[in-house]
Structure 1
Amino acid sequence: MPASDLPVADDVAGLYVEHSTWLQGWLRRRIGDAFTAADVAQDTFLSLLDGKTATQEIREPRPFLATIANRLLAHRHRRQLLETAYLEAIAALPEEFAPSPETRLIAVQSLQEIDRVLDGLPSKVREAFLLAHLVELSYAEIAERLGVSASSVKQYLSRAHRECLFAISF
């Protein structure tokens, strides 16, 4: 770890010592599962290590940590819904067309990675991607909905496709 990251790690360690038990308890009461609560609490503190958050400037640590944990729970829930929808679609296929368990796992992991990438894109880029692929709108229809030009839609979709391709390339 570079020396410049040590203050961040020290700040996060301090937050962890002071608030991890509270956060796990809060999550356990909220979701009713001690194991998931522990995982989400751990992920909450790990997310602070990226150095993007000035941890020394946090005035109210518990609401701050709860906000991060809620966001992580929402992402976790969305990933589970995505996986469930895919597995239900696969279950509806005739057996001879059903992919192997290995292929299913790769597909679920790829869908989760695409979901993660889309979540990190600007809202108009993400919305253009979803409108194009889930609603199957044309560039002109997407442009009208988003209040942008068709060339902007083309740029948005190029960016989203590029990011998704990079994400799932092994």
Structure 2
Amino acid sequence: MPAPDLPLADDLTGLYAEHSTWLQGWLRRRIGDTFTAADVAQDTFLSLLDRKTATGEIREPRPFLATVANRLLAHRHRRQLLETAYFEAIASLPEEVAPSPETRLIAVQSLQEIDRVLDGLPPKVREAFLLAHLAELSYADIAKRLGVSASSVKQYLARANRECLFAMTL
């Protein structure tokens, strides 16, 4: 892993020192869990480091940090919903055909990776993928729902499927 850019790290250190306690308190009040609040606060600052965000250019740090933290909370919630749905589906299977714990872990990790990929796609591409694969709608039905042509739906699905496949082969 490459070393972080020093000016960026210094800016982030200052931002962390000045606002991390506030962010943890804000998250704790919002979600009611000290440990999750601390995790999300840490993840917020890590995401800034990962994105190499120039923190010195942030005019309103607290609203900015709250926005990043809210997005992380939404991702966390969505991941939990995916895991819950998967485990509920597994629980309904007869024991002799239920996957092993290792297979379950791989499946959950795969679902999380697909979720991450979909989150990076434009809204209509993501929506087309979900409607095709989860709701099992036809191209025509998806096109009608999204207000686009069937050929656009075909392009959306090709893109989303390609991105998911590429992410799963890494």
Residues 40 and 72, structure 1, Cα contact 8 Å, conserved in 2: yes
- Structure 2 unpaired stretches of 5+: none
2:29 aligns to what SS in structure 1? Answer: helix
Q: 1:95 matched to which residue of 2?
A: 95
Q: Supply the AA of the counterpart residue of 1:99.
A: P
Q: Tell me what 2:69 maps to.
A: 69
Alignment of 1:34-73 (within 5 A): 34-51=34-51, 53-73=53-73
Deviation at 1:51, TM superposition (A): 4.2
Identity of matched residues, %: 86
1:105 alignment counterpart? 105
Cα contact 1:8–1:51 (8 A) shared by 2 = no
Deviation per CA, 1:128-160: give whole Å up to 9, x if none: 101111111111221222222222111110111
User: Residue 152 of structure 1 corresponds to which residue in structure 2?
Assistant: 152
- How far apart are the structure 1 equivalents of 2:75 and 2:32? 17
Please, what TM-score do these two structures have when normalized by structure 2? 0.92
Q: Which residue of 2 aligns with 1:165?
A: 165
Unaligned stretches of 5+ residues in structure 1: none
SS of equivalent residue, structure 2 residue 50: coil
Q: Is the 8 A contact 2:8 2:55 kept in 1?
A: yes
Counterparts of 1:167 and 1:81 in 2: how far apart (Å)?
21
RMSD: 1.6
CA distance in 2: counterparts of 1:156 and 1:98, whole angstroms: 33
- Give, in whole Å, the separation in 2 of the partners of 1:162 and 1:92: 31
Residue 166 of structure 1 and its aligned partner are, at CA, apart by: 1.6
* Conserved? CA contact 2:8–2:52, under 8 Å: no
Q: Which residue of 2 aligns with 1:132?
A: 132
Match for 2:92: what amino acid? A
Q: CA–CA distance in 1 between the matches of 2:42 and 2:22?
A: 12
